Amino acid sequence: MNSFSSLMGSQTLLPIIQADTVEQGVNIAKAMHAAGINLVEVVLRTPASLDVIKQIKLELPQLLVGAGTILNAEILKDALKAGSDFIITPASSTELLTELKNCQVPVLPGVSTSGDILLAAEFGYSELKLFPASLSGGAPFLKAMGSVFKDIKFCPTGGINVDNKHDYLSLNNVFAVGGTWIAPKQWVESGSWDLITSACENALT
């Protein structure tokens, strides 16, 4: 099975889509794809989220679409049924990691402490999401973890923005950063899709 970073390829931005309607979600995805984005995460935080994944995959079949905010076996099953190309969790537990063990698509488990990292490593994961990054020690924490967990790579999300993304990406153990700053709620509500495209283009540089 491919690793999550291999799906990302050279893309160092994990753009996060949070949409209240299917139409919003598809338009966000189209705006991101126009900037050269090949992979997006749809967080399952609204009732429309699963349908957003299905519709993006129908209208943009060349785009890899994964599900975030996976917390338990039931949500995992729904996300996979919707056609998710990968799975991302906000946190880790023994029960959740056990459920994910047989997942047939790449998984990026969420961690926030050194104990979480060790637990995920014990389950065989070498690529993890630090969340919420800014409240979990940020770049200094990841730099410190690099000397302890030498084989673990991270994709931090939460509190990442245009001003601090390079603090993370300059670290040897960070392969990408994730965030919603490239598609803030006010742009989505006003239909400012060109601003999302521009923000994604800037984030990729």
Catalytic annotation present for 129: yes
57, 129, 153, 165: the active-site residue: 129
Distance between CA 35 and CA 49 in Å, rounded? 22
Q: How many CB atoms are closer than 10 A to CB 89? A: 27
133 — phi, psi (to 5°)? Answer: -55, -45
Sign of the dihedral defined by the CA atoms of residues 196, 198, 204, 205, in that order: negative
Is residue 43 a contact partner of residue 17, using CB atoms and an 8 Å limit? yes
Catalytic annotation present for 165: no
Q: How far is CA 161 from the centre of its chain?
A: 14
Alpha carbon distances (Å) from 93 to 26, 73, 100, 165 = 32, 12, 10, 28
172 — phi, psi (to 5°)? Answer: -65, -25
User: Which amino acid is residue 164, in one-letter code?
Assistant: N
Structure tokens at 140: 């200094």
Distance between CA 132 and CA 103 in Å, rounded? 24
41, 99, 153, 165: the active-site residue: 41
| Residues carrying an active site annotation | 41, 129
